[in-house]
Amino acid sequence: MALSTIELPNCTVLAMSNRLDGSHTKELEVKVEELIGGGYSRLLFDFEELDYINSAGLRILVMAYQQLHPNGGKVAVCCARDYIQEVFEISGYDQLFGMYTSRDDAVSDF
């Protein structure tokens, strides 16, 4: 998994590529904890280049949501491929996270 972080005025974008599974989650988990610990409260996960996600990857998003949501923070996902979007719908996580088809739409909604 390749991870890049982009700080925008109204949110922080975490863009990743390839796979987000048990063998690739530690880097993302450390980054998310670092951002939350640093006071960042609006995280946008950009999945445009993500090919695969499993429960280990979903766990990190849920962890971020559990820490941020009670304090008014927000976690959203953008640009997920259809089959990844389906994972969120089947699991019900599309009800927790804002799901957007484009980064621009997501950023403007923060």
The answer to whether 94 and 63 have CB atoms below 8 angstroms apart is no
DSSP letter string over 13-77? EEEEEEEESTTT-HHHHHHHHHHHHTT--EEEEEEEEEEEE-HHHHHHHHHHHHHHGGGT-EEEE
pLDDT digits (tens, 9 = 90+) for 79-97: 999 999 999 999 999 999 9
The pTM assigned to this predicted structure is: 0.93
pLDDT band at 21 (very low <50, low <70, confident <90, very high): confident
Q: Which CATH number fits the domain that encloses residue 46?
A: 3.30.750.24
Per the structure, the complete domain to which residue 67 belongs is given by 2-109
Number of domains comprising the chain? 1
